[in-house]
Structure 1
Amino acid sequence: MSVTVATGAVKTKRESTLGYLLPALLLIAFFFIVPVLMLLMRSVLEPEVGLQNYEALLGSTTYLRVFLNTFMVASIVTLVSIVIGYPVAWLLAIMPERWSRIVLAIIVLSMWTNLLARTYAWMVLLQRTGVINKTLMGLGLIDTPLALVNNLVGVTIGMTYIMLPFVILPLMGVIRTIDPAILRAAALCGAGKMQCFLRVLLPLSLPGIAAGALMVFVMSLGYFVTPALLGGTSNMMLAELVAQFVQSLVDWGMGGAAALVLLVVTLVLYAVQLRYFNPAQGK
């Protein structure tokens, strides 16, 4: 009797959970799965049935250059974001709670600012007559203005600024969970500051680094506004290429193929992150 009651209770709980999840599942299916399947269909059906879109995309040196530029920019932005974001996350984790909240509020506020406004602000700052060039020339560090826009430098600066919070927040959460007693124990055993960092703090914070790096890299792969405004045509990225295909309204097949290649790369990177940097796996 008790087993029957328990089984009925479990079924009721499962049904109620499914009832709560059903709207979310339908939302995901309607706004994600269905559009992806439609893109897949169009990539192999338009303009003719077959894989000619993928052959043209992966066999053209022009398109391969766009792919290479996309991965290069995403890699550079990810690396620079980690190098800058790690010290910031560490300071946020160890500084007094009051100051940590203030700095964290500033970082979050930058995320809430309109993306287009932030990109245009960097265009003003980085141009030849902008504040950065004027300051450097005023200090006597340069004689002529530096070319900081319409090139890789401008794209890296603008995208790193936008991506930094996505590195800082997960890293700060991971570093805060590390027991300071572990670092003190390492110091008592004779480890120097660099050894404590390289052999204790850095390995323990790898899940946060992996999460932040994956998020930044994947988001950078599909970025459009900042590279388009700060990079120019010579630094075109894959999202801009997809936009060009789609805006013509006749190259939906090529646009779908490019978008699906980007999606596959993203899923592969996510699978690698789950396989090698999943904290739950070690429990």
Structure 2
Amino acid sequence: MPLLFILHTSTAGGTSAEAFHSVGSSALFRRALVTTVQVAVLASLISLVLGYLVALHLVRQPPRRRAMLMVLVLLPFWTSILVKSYAFTIILGREGLINGALSWLLGTHIELPLIFNRAGVLIGMTNYLTPLVVFPILASLLAIDPALYRAAEIMGARPARIFFTVTLPLSAPGVAAAVLSAAVVSLGFFIVPALLGGKQDLMLANLVDFYTREVLDWGVASAVGVMLFVLIGVFAVPAMVLRRRKQQQLGVA
């Protein structure tokens, strides 16, 4: 019902597409759309690399230790994203913990620009997305038959070749599901860009807030929301298909 109400508002009760024409001709919307896609892709890829490394470490641990480490992976979810974003302002600020530590180690004043820019947005989003990426990849890695690794070692394959010819291809479904899920979540981020980003890091969710609180144009805000929903669907549908195929394969197995 809320989605239908937003669609109803964006079309002025189903009688006009003026809001969509206004959005389509807006340079601000085009810039926010490009920024949203760029940030979502970059954050998803960075989270994928970090999450894959964590999943590789977890799969090599004994079951009991793996369970304990998985609790640590889930630990970031115990804290509100709003609280974590405020914490990052202290950690990443020009006088924050990172710059303070670097200044102390190097003996000179360091002010790395880690906040109110794209770097701050990516750091905050990656912190949230990485745990989401770990578990689909971990499930794929655990499903690989250990005999395949032993066979590759017997044939003389080195660790790097085993990874690129055995581990990576067989974990590809989990990787695809993880990166698509991360992209779906990252497209709708609002708090992190608002607190850690700058004026050049306006995303579509922030644009909806701008039209509702500053411009007070609910029709255009609803049109932006509909377009954001469609954009998320572009990433969500492949993720759902991959998840369904994986469930069917597990059922057959």
Do they superpose with TM above 0.5?
yes
Deviations 1:225-257 (A, max 9, x none): 111000033311111111122235842211111
Deviations 1:142-191 (A, max 9, x none): 75311111000011111101111100111112211111111221222232
SS at match of 2:46: helix
Matched, 1:119 2:101: no
Residue of structure 2 aligned with 1:172, choices 120, 124, 138: 138
The answer to whether the 8 A contact 2:132-2:178 is kept is: yes
Residue of structure 2 aligned with 1:258, choices 214, 217, 224: 224
Change in CA separation of 1:159 and 1:141 when aligned onto 2, cut-off 3 Å? farther
Give the Cα separation in 1 of the matches to 2:36 and 2:50.
21
SS at match of 1:239: helix
Q: How does 1:193-208 map to 2 (within 5 A)?
A: 193-208=159-174
The answer to whether the 8 A contact 2:190-2:205 is kept is: yes
**What TM-score, normalized by structure 1, do the two folds share?**
0.82
Deviations 1:99-144 (A, max 9, x none): 2222211121211212111111111000011111112222329753
Deviations 1:180-208 (A, max 9, x none): 11122122223221221112111111111
Give the Cα separation in 2 of the matches to 1:205 and 1:60.
42
The answer to whether the 8 A contact 2:102-2:110 is kept is: no
The answer to whether the 8 A contact 2:35-2:201 is kept is: yes
Matched, 1:98 2:43: no
Give the Cα separation in 2 of the matches to 1:141 and 1:180.
50
Specify the structure having the higher radius of gyration (Cα): 1
RMSD across aligned C-alpha pairs, in angstroms?
2.1
**What TM-score, normalized by structure 2, do the two folds share?**
0.91
Change in CA separation of 1:154 and 1:251 when aligned onto 2, cut-off 3 Å? same
SS at match of 2:114: coil
Matched, 1:43 2:10: yes
Give the Cα separation in 2 of the matches to 1:281 and 1:244.
43
Matched, 1:52 2:18: yes
Q: Structure 1 residue 220: deviation in Å?
A: 0.7
Change in CA separation of 1:256 and 1:134 when aligned onto 2, cut-off 3 Å? same
Matched, 1:192 2:158: yes
Give the Cα separation in 2 of the matches to 1:59 and 1:188.
62
- Tell me which residue corresponds to 1:77: 43
Q: Tell me, which stretches of 5 or more residues in structure 2 are unaligned?
A: none
Q: Tell me, which stretches of 5 or more residues in structure 1 are unaligned?
A: 1-33
SS at match of 2:11: helix
The answer to whether the 8 A contact 2:92-2:98 is kept is: yes
- Indicate the percent of aligned positions where both proteins have the same amino acid: 35
What is the number of equivalent residue pairs in this alignment? 249
- Tell me which residue corresponds to 2:192: 226
Report the residue type matching 2:156 in the other structure.
G
The answer to whether the 8 A contact 2:180-2:238 is kept is: no
Change in CA separation of 1:249 and 1:128 when aligned onto 2, cut-off 3 Å? closer
Detail structure 1 runs of 4+ shifted over 4 Å in the superposition.
Answer: 274-277, 280-283
Q: Structure 1 residue 280: deviation in Å?
A: 4.7
- Tell me which residue corresponds to 1:151: 117
